[in-house]
Structure 1
Amino acid sequence: MANGQQKAKQNLDAFQSWVATQQDEDFKQIIFRGQLSRSEVAKATGCGKSALNQNPELRQSLKQLEDDLRDRGVLPPLTHIAKKEIDKPKQYDNTANRKAVDSKRLSLLEAENIELKAKVKELEGQLQRFGELSETLSEMGFMPR
């Protein structure tokens, strides 16, 4: 069984071998939000997504690859804000899960509201029609029981 350092070296070697076999068109296929999709890179190299973040040499190689791809025009250039934020850790949003739940519930409630409005409109039409029928029968002397 390989220890952590050996596994890190194996992952780096696998990454470098994978990069050597790829063309610009291949990289274009896995672009996600202005960078290479980490899950696709992990699948292609046979290492975990966590290795791409936790292995410093692998992380640096991936960053270098993306910089080279940006220079060649395969990846879009980084914005001014992205350049400033690149080394800063992302701030944890403890309300993100709640927002997602609320958003889903809101969309369900809006759909239900639309359905109920349509049903109310249909029932109002029926009520108006039967109201006129009842009035006509009343005028004719036939009172419904």
Structure 2
Amino acid sequence: MANGQQKAQQNLEAFEVWKATQTDDDFKQIVFRGQLNRIEVAKGTGCGKSALNQNPALRKALKALEGELRDRGVLPPLTEAARKNEGKPQAYDNTVNRQLLDSKRVPPLEAENIELKAKVKELEKRLERFGELSETLSDMGLMPR
């Protein structure tokens, strides 16, 4: 069984073989958010997606490939903000998941609230009408109070 360093080297070699077999059109088909789709690259090389992030040599080779593809016009050029933040860790926003859940949950609840308010108004009108009718019948002596 291969140790970690041997596995990392095998993954790098598999990446190089995969890269050599791809054309610019193949790369264009797996572009996602301005870079190569990591899941598709991992599938093509036969390694796990985590290897693309954890293996420094593989990560460097992938960045170099993306740089070459940008120079050839296959990938879009990096924006100024992306250049500034390249290599820096992104800040984790723990409220994003909650906001996503809320944005899915709120519209149906608002619609239900509107429906219920309309129903309450209708029932209040009925109650008012039947209250007056009940009072009239009671005044006429047709109904005990």
Under TM normalisation by the shorter chain, which class is it? 0.7 to 0.9
Q: CA deviation at 1:108?
A: 2.8
Aligned to 2:104: 104
Question: CA 1:83/1:109 → structure 2, altered by over 3 Å: closer, same or farther?
Answer: same
Unpaired segments ≥5 residues, structure 2 = 126-145
Q: Match for 1:62: what amino acid?
A: L
Q: How does 1:78-117 map to 2 (within 5 A)?
A: 78-110=78-110, 112=112, 116=115
| Separation of aligned partners in 1, 2:50 and 2:25 | 26
Alignment of 1:7 with 2:7, yes or no, is yes
Alignment of 1:64 with 2:64, yes or no, is yes
Aligned Cα RMSD in Å?
Answer: 2.2
CA offsets, 1:48-98, max 9 Å, x none? 111001100000000000000000000000001100001110111111221
| Separation of aligned partners in 2, 1:7 and 1:85 | 30
Question: When the two structures are superposed, what TM-score results if normalisation uses the length of structure 2?
Answer: 0.76
Alignment of 1:45 with 2:45, yes or no, is yes
Aligned residues: 123
Q: CA deviation at 1:110?
A: 4.4
Matched-pair identity in %: 70
Question: CA 1:25/1:109 → structure 2, altered by over 3 Å: closer, same or farther?
Answer: same
Question: When the two structures are superposed, what TM-score results if normalisation uses the length of structure 1?
Answer: 0.76
| Separation of aligned partners in 1, 2:38 and 2:58 | 12
Q: CA deviation at 1:113?
A: 5.5
Question: CA 1:71/1:101 → structure 2, altered by over 3 Å: closer, same or farther?
Answer: same
* Divergent runs of 4+, >6 A: none
